[in-house]
Amino acid sequence: MKNCASVVFATVLTCLLLMPGSAAAEPVLDVIIGGQTHHFARDELLHRPDVTHVSVANDIAYGKTMNYVAVPVAALLAPFNPPANSVIESVALDGFAAQLPLDLLTNKDPAKAVAWLAIEPDDPHWPVLPGRAESAGPFYIVWTGAAVAQMRSEQWPYHLKRLESQSSPLKRWPTLNVDPALPASDPLRAGLALYKTQCLPCHTLDGAGTGTAGPDLNQPMNPTQYMTRDGLRALIRDPKSVRSWPNMKMPGFAADQISDREIDLIIGYLTHIAARRSGIP
């Protein structure tokens, strides 16, 4: 009898574990403000009173108009009073970690860009991303508003799992900064600004940063030390035109996402960082 009971119990347990739609499988977004963690399950977000339908023209991830069920990021963050001088680190499932300025995420004026947390429903799921095997879910920050074109491609984080308040990148990682003696108008400062937005989400630099989707760009060598300027330009525009391997993650950046001049500013910044590390004035 004991053996029969064990078999019955094991069968029931197996059936329960195999049942679809179990609570354990529901996606959860963690919002960490001032060290305090708040968990938002998908269904909880979908039943908020401020949830709405949002149409996004020229969606960055999908390259076309997309329609989402979403909540305003400003409303999601408001009850937790993020520090005014902080950024929100938006961490994805694959290690992508964008540093999004708080004033951008909390803006409500449609004359500027307005941030939304798009929530992928259980059914129907969003379409598969171009060239990928999965959608942009479970959570994705998208933008609407008159100034949406000013938002950089890396400021649309998808596969989102966590939003966390942090100090500004330069306060958190001072080694990212350029020579402090440089004037405010120096192109290297523009290169630093572009690097923080376009490269830091995936790459560390001498260990500075939290993005793990790509390799460090100054350890053990800076790419400007082993690649030509033309090679680096091509790598940023179309990585597979330079080198390719299975599970390669880096996308190419089209001219409407980053200009040739901006690529040169980033290369100039990386060259400057390599020289400072080597002690070259």
Q: Which of 116, 142, 167 is the last residue of a domain?
A: 167
Count how many domains the chain has: 2
223 lies in the same domain as 272: yes
CA distance 25 to 226: 45
Phi, psi of 205 (to 5 degrees): -140, 105
Q: Which of 150, 167, 184 is the last residue of a domain?
A: 167
Q: Which of 167, 196, 221 is the last residue of a domain?
A: 167
Asked if the structure places residue 152 within a domain, the reply is yes
Classify the C-alpha dihedral 246-249-250-251 as positive or negative: positive
Segment 113-163, tens digit of pLDDT: 999 999 999 999 999 999 889 999 999 999 999 999 999 999 999 999 999
47 lies in the same domain as 107: yes
39 lies in the same domain as 61: yes
pTM above 0.75? yes
75 lies in the same domain as 191: no
Asked if the structure places residue 103 within a domain, the reply is yes
121 lies in the same domain as 240: no
Listed in sequence order, the residues at least 6 apart from 90 whose beta carbon sits closer than 8 Å to its beta carbon are 97, 98, 99, 100, 141, 157, 160, 162, 163
Asked if the structure places residue 232 within a domain, the reply is yes
Asked if the structure places residue 87 within a domain, the reply is yes
CATH code where residue 70 lies: 3.90.420.10
- Within the chain, residue ranges assigned H as helices are 2-18, 42-46, 73-77, 102-105, 169-172, 187-198, 229-237, 260-278
Segment 168-180, tens digit of pLDDT: 999 999 999 999 9
Domain, as residue range, for 99? 25-167
Q: In this model, does residue 4 exceed pLDDT 90?
A: no
Asked if the structure places residue 53 within a domain, the reply is yes
Segment 73-126, tens digit of pLDDT: 999 999 999 998 899 999 999 999 999 999 999 999 999 999 999 999 999 999
CATH code where residue 183 lies: 2.60.40.420
Classify the C-alpha dihedral 205-87-256-70 as positive or negative: positive
